[in-house]
Amino acid sequence: MKNWSNIYSEKHFSVCVVTSLIFLINCDPSSKFDTVSSVNFEVAEATIMELHDALLKDQVTSLDLVNAYLDRINKYDQDGPELNSIILLNPNAQEQAITLDRERAEKGMRGLFHGIPILLKDNYETVDMPTSGASVALSSFFPESDAFQVKRLREAGAIILGKTNMHELAAGITTISSLGGQTKNPYDISRNPGGSSGGTGAAIAASFAAIGWGSDTCGSIRIPASNNNLFGLRPTKGLASTRGIIPLSHTQDVGGPLARTATDLAIGLNVIVGQDPEDPYTSILADTNTPDFVAALDKEALKDSRIGVLTSLFGDEPADQEIGLLVKQAITRMGLLGSQTMEVSIPKLESMLQGSSVIAHEFKWDLIDYLEASGTAPVNSLEEIVELGLFHVAMGETFRRRMFDEEREDSQYQQALEKQEALRRAVINLMEAMDLDAIVYPTMRRPIAIIGAPQTGSTCQLSASTGLPALSVPAGFTEDGLPFGIELLGLPLTDAKLLALGYSFEQNTNNRQPPLLRPSLPELRFSTQLQSDMTYEADFTFDTKTNRLTSSVALADPSLGDIYAVGLQLSGGPEVGGIIDRIGPVTSSKREVGTFLGASEILLDPTTVMKLKEGEIFLTVFSSRYPKGELKSPLTIDDSTKALLMLRSSIDTN
């Protein structure tokens, strides 16, 4: 993550920006707080109810919880695997925890969220931290008030631990930004976490907070949920206010939580749903009861349910086959749990989906309106951001393409809105005609892409274009250990029913598995033992973060004869063995007999790393005495490194 200096003195705020070099808990170095918890309480995978009960029974304090999560962020976000999911931390989190602990002791608890640490995507307005959309262009922007949902969360007693990275201005699904850099997937750090709420997805999967908030314009809650083995609901448009969330498309934008369990998601949703007089979309709740998500949870919800399988969204390309098969297996499991599943189709679905998104039509203008209304934003338009070069280079093509819309409401925009209405009617008519509780399909029909590669396979548009609720449910893992999700789409305001179905599936399958995270180690040092009477020095250092092995070898023994080559050899015979690296320099006829001095550096693939740690890589010498490399010795971990490895293996890092 980039190391950004803080430039917020004009508002007299102190903000802790997380950098790749140092973990800042309080910007004041004389702070009386530290991150060492006084109670041995494991927050990894802890549910909101477990945290609440521990607080209620005085087994732990909110300050303990804050410190425990900060410690995990220190170990795994800025060190170890360096997930890079957190864009900044709340410098007042510990003080707020102490205040809430005092309130709990004196007055009791406000509710389930009292003293619970949470994370927000960095497009939610917060008065005590900048709201940037992960863009350097807005890095100094302090809104005048909290977003509607943030206000609800604070009133419930939640502690906002910090802000998460996101795909810059929410305009993508792999989570890369000019302010936050690239976030990694905790299940495979070579892959993306989804987006645009990928920082929240990665952080909650890694237990950096109890629960986190994201936004969804086309998949930005559901894709990170799928990619990180989480629950994520794109609610019915208007069920929860989006006031105070930096817009991408006012027609399609929604906001809400991502969680490790269905129950946690329900608890979070109960706090933030409801009518907002300043958000006209929430007027759909004027004549209806606000749903109670917790009360709706039912382990038997799948029994006698009717679920349509929308096979046209499974894809028919070779790249779609693995996820498609796994999703079908999950649907079969639903059937075994009592659900009646049936294939369904929507006539002309592909043509209705095509051109139904309004993001490209609204992004430029919605951002202008938002920045102008703020009154304090440092830039006033997407065009200015592009002209000043205040964006990540990966966003250049997208931003330049979207800044050239000359009209707010051209004919293509009107056609897209008409397509959305037609698609909405088609889905509702199908579900009502067949008496369906939900429609199911893959959240992502292709595996998670390597960082830097295009991510394809999204099915986000059906819910985004219809405004209908859609829930991504953890459904298991691919052969490569990558999470995937199934998506349940429902009728308007049946969000609680969808979550009940997801809860029923969760309780009967147990698909949630935490990622395997390890703290960083110093460089691993290896040694080797050639002949005991031979004069030599050999040093091997392995960087656990970069997988680079550095070698340095010096030989001085006339008995070797002329030395022709020195290298690292992989054991295993002709099928898997062979030389993996030559330790330089090039041989010289002027070299004294039996002498050699050389060094090298090589990047090891994961398989070879395993071979190194198992002692299956050898230092091999080729000389006139040993022309076939008969002189060889395995690289072994030296005693000091062994001690470190043994210490780490004794720690439960999850």
* DSSP conformation letters of 184-215: -BTTBTTB---SSSHHHHHHHHTTSSSEEEEE
Q: Whole-model pTM?
A: 0.81
Q: What structural domains does the chain harbor? A: 11-26+37-509 (3.90.1300.10), 524-649 (2.60.40)
CB contact at 8 A, 478 and 275: no
| Whole-angstrom distance, CA of residue 97 vs CA of residue 585 | 60
Q: How many CA atoms are closer than 13 Å to the CA of 177, on its beta-carbon side?
A: 36
Active-site residue, selected from the candidate residues 196, 249, 357, 458? 196
- Residue 159 host element (H or E): strand 159-164
* Helix/strand/coil for 581: strand
The reported pLDDT for the residue numbered 378 is 97
CB contact at 8 A, 441 and 486: yes
Active-site residue, selected from the candidate residues 37, 75, 121, 356? 121
Q: What is the DSSP string of 548-573?
A: EEEEEEEEE-GGG-SEEEEEEEE-SH
Tokens 């029909």 correspond to 445
The reported pLDDT for the residue numbered 21 is 26
The reported pLDDT for the residue numbered 532 is 72
Active-site residue, selected from the candidate residues 207, 220, 249, 472? 220
Q: What is the DSSP string of 55-107?
A: HHTTSS-HHHHHHHHHHHIIIIISSTT----EEEE-TTHHHHHHHHHHHHHHH
The reported pLDDT for the residue numbered 576 is 53
* Helix/strand/coil for 596: strand
| Whole-angstrom distance, CA of residue 247 vs CA of residue 216 | 10
196 in catalytic set:
yes
- Residue 438 phi/psi, 5° resolution? -165, 160
504 in catalytic set:
no
The reported pLDDT for the residue numbered 32 is 33
> Strands, DSSP E only, in 426-546?
438-442, 470-477, 483-489, 524-527, 536-543
Using CA of residue 80, residue 81, residue 82, residue 83, what is the dihedral sign?
Answer: negative
Structure tokens at 2: 């980039």
Q: How many CA atoms are closer than 13 Å to the CA of 210, on its beta-carbon side?
A: 27
Residue 215: CB atoms within 10 Å: 25
| Whole-angstrom distance, CA of residue 223 vs CA of residue 229 | 10
Q: What is the mean pLDDT, run by run of 10 residues, along the chain of 654 residues?
A: 31 38 31 48 96 98 98 94 96 98 98 99 98 97 98 99 99 97 96 98 99 99 99 99 99 99 99 98 96 98 99 96 98 98 97 97 97 97 96 96 84 96 98 99 98 97 99 97 98 99 98 88 78 83 85 90 89 70 65 85 86 90 90 82 53 40
Type of residue found at 278: E
611 in catalytic set:
no
User: How far is CA 455 from each of CA 177, 193, 195, 375, 452, rounded to the nearest angstrom?
Assistant: 16, 11, 10, 36, 9
